Amino acid sequence: MLGEVGSEKVIATARDLGVRAPLPEGDPSLALGTSTITLLELTSAYAAVAANEYPVEPHAFARPERGFFENLWDGPSSLSSATHSEMERMLRAAINRGTGRAAMLSGPNFGKTGTTQDNRDALFVGLRDPRELQREGKIPNAFHAPRGMLEFWVDPSSPYHKEVFASGKKIVFYCQSGWRSALSTKTVQDMGLENVCHIGDGYRGWKDSGAATEEVG
C-alpha cells in the first residue's frame, strides 16, 4: 500500500494532521509506524480523524468559539467523505476484528495498536528461499522461516513449535514480492495468531526503497 501511494503523500497527510516529528521518505517501515512521535502529536492526529477537522491544536484552556467569517476564511480543513469513511472503517476493524479486540466496547469504537521503534515489540519473519537469501541478503535481524515448516513452527502443540511465535511480538512476514507472505499471514491468522501482518511489496520493494539489508553468509 505504501508503495502504491508513495511515502511523500503519507508524510504530507501526517503533517496535515499535526505530526511534526521527522518522517523518512522512501522507508517501507514508515507504514508500520516505526517513526517516533510525541503523545501530543499522536493525540492531535487521532482527534483530527475523530472530528474530521484538521489541524487540531492542543491548548490548556478553553478558547472562544470562532466566528462564521473567521471559519470561512481561515477555518479548519477536512478529509473527503470517502476518505474519512474508509479511515473509520479500518480503525473500527482494528478494534472489532484485529489486534485491538481486547479494547472493544459495547458502543461504536475505533482504535489502532502500535509498534515500537527498533523492533522492540516486532519481529520480521522472512519466508524466502535460501537461494534468495544467499543472492540478495535479508532484512537486518529478521528471523528466517522455511515456508514448508511455518504451520509446524507456529502451532504451539507441534513438537517443532518455535517460541518466537509465542513471544507476543508483532509478526511481520515478508517474501520476495508479497505473494507468499500474504498467504502465510492469512494461514497463521486462521490458526489463531492475531498480531501479524506482511510487507505487501516484499523484500524487492524493501530493497528498491533503499532500506537497510544485511548479507547472509
Tell me whether residue 108 is in a domain: no
Residues 25, 28: Cα–Cα separation, whole Å: 9
Instruction: Report yes or no: 60 and 30 within 8 Å, Cβ to Cβ.
Output: no
How many other CB atoms are found less than 10 A from the CB of residue 138? 21
How many other CB atoms are found less than 10 A from the CB of residue 106? 5
**Whether residues 69 and 125 fall in one domain:** no
Count up the domains in the chain and report the number. 2
Residues shown for the chain: 217
Residues 170, 191: Cα–Cα separation, whole Å: 15
Tell me whether residue 159 is in a domain: yes
Task: Write out pLDDT tens, residues 172-197.
Answer: 999 999 999 999 999 999 999 988 98
Q: What is the pLDDT of residue 113?
A: 65
Residues 70, 92: Cα–Cα separation, whole Å: 34
Q: What is the pLDDT of residue 114?
A: 63
**Whether residues 187 and 123 fall in one domain:** yes
The enclosing domain of 134 has a CATH number of 3.40.250.10
**Whether residues 69 and 126 fall in one domain:** no
Nearest CA to 202 out of 125, 135, 141, 150 is that of 125
How many other CB atoms are found less than 10 A from the CB of residue 31? 17
Q: What is the pLDDT of residue 126?
A: 95
Q: What is the pLDDT of residue 153?
A: 96
**Whether residues 131 and 70 fall in one domain:** no
Residues 191, 182: Cα–Cα separation, whole Å: 15
Residues 138, 216: Cα–Cα separation, whole Å: 7
**Whether residues 66 and 133 fall in one domain:** no
Instruction: Report yes or no: 168 and 193 within 8 Å, Cβ to Cβ.
Output: no
Q: What is the pLDDT of residue 117?
A: 52
- Domain residue limits at 130: 117-208
**Whether residues 122 and 200 fall in one domain:** yes
How many other CB atoms are found less than 10 A from the CB of residue 215? 9
Give φ, ψ of 201 to 5 degrees: -90, -5
Extract the residue ranges of the chain whose pLDDT is less than 50. Answer: none
Residues 207, 137: Cα–Cα separation, whole Å: 10
Backbone dihedral region of 18: left (phi > 0), alpha (psi from -120 to 50 degrees) or beta? Answer: left
Q: What is the pLDDT of residue 3?
A: 60
Task: Write out pLDDT tens, residues 48-86.
Answer: 888 888 888 877 777 777 777 676 667 678 888 888 888
CA dihedral 185→210→113→8, nearest 10 degrees, is: -120
Tell me whether residue 105 is in a domain: no
Q: What is the pLDDT of residue 93?
A: 79
Instruction: Report yes or no: 213 and 138 within 8 Å, Cβ to Cβ.
Output: yes
